[in-house]
Amino acid sequence: MKVSESQKRKTRKQLIEAAVDLFSEQGIDQTTMKQVARAAGVGDATIYKYFPNKEKLLTGYFIWAAETAVETAASVDGVEEFELQERLQLLVDSYLDVLLPEREFVAEILKRFYQAPLSIVTDGLPGQNVFKDCIGEYFDLAIAQGEMEPLPFKEGVVSLLSDYVFALVLFWQRDESEEFAQTTQLVDLSLSCLVLLLKSGLISKLMDLGGFLLKTQLFRLIERGEGVQQLMQSLQLFRSGLGGMAGEK
């Protein structure tokens, strides 16, 4: 009998939830695929139709979290009236809210990613395609509503932003401020800078600079756990400068 897409999605979710519980309780290396399958209530062989190994289960968790965040953001009342920055803010907040209950588990997965960076280079960041599709739709809507001009390098900007979401997770993991205040400030500053940049029409000239900042500097600062205040100050100055340029138009 053919399994429906909704049933496949349900089974995938059951397997991910069972894996998270077992991995958190027993440890990733101490948990077998058979244990995950039985905890999820599926056959021992069925799990391999969805996830061929534990590494795919780990990345599957991030993909599921991304899909859940996108669905949550889309279900918010009045979201169709939101501007681009509000939509992006809602997406990021929804994603971190999904990850929050399993924050320690997320930290453990990230450690494993650090140990095998080539898998990220080869397969891409987990959940990246989910965010790319969503952010691309946000941009199309903002352009259709006259909020900004068409982007000359839309695909590159969308890809950069999907990387940015993952970078925020790394930052959030190291944020020890009360109620993650530093993460909230970083999201607000960085998204406002981005939207001002898009509206200014300078994105084509600053694409390389933005890529360097987000993919190199941000990851370096986050990895070392240093320079948070310097990063915030730089973003504030950057936002002020872009705001002045936008006001001149």
Q: What is the pLDDT of residues 35-62, one digit of tens each?
A: 999 999 999 899 999 999 988 898 899 9
Query: 164-176, pLDDT tens digit by residue?
Result: 898 899 899 989 9
Tokens 């084509």 -> residue: 204
pLDDT at position 233: 76
Percentage, residues of the chain above pLDDT 90: 49
Q: What is the pTM of this model?
A: 0.80
d(CA 35, CA 231): 44
State the first-to-last Cα distance of the chain, in angstroms, to the nearest integer. Answer: 62
Mean per-residue pLDDT of the chain: 84
Question: Closest Cα to residue 197, out of 209, 183, 215?
Answer: 209
Residue 51 burial (10 A CB sphere; 0-12, 13-18, 19+): buried
**5-19, 30-44, 207-221: lowest mean pLDDT where?**
207-221
> How many CA within 13 A on the CB side of residue 38?
5
Q: What angle do CA 103, 79, 13 make, to 5 degrees?
A: 40
d(CA 102, CA 21): 9
Amino acid in the structure at residue 201: G
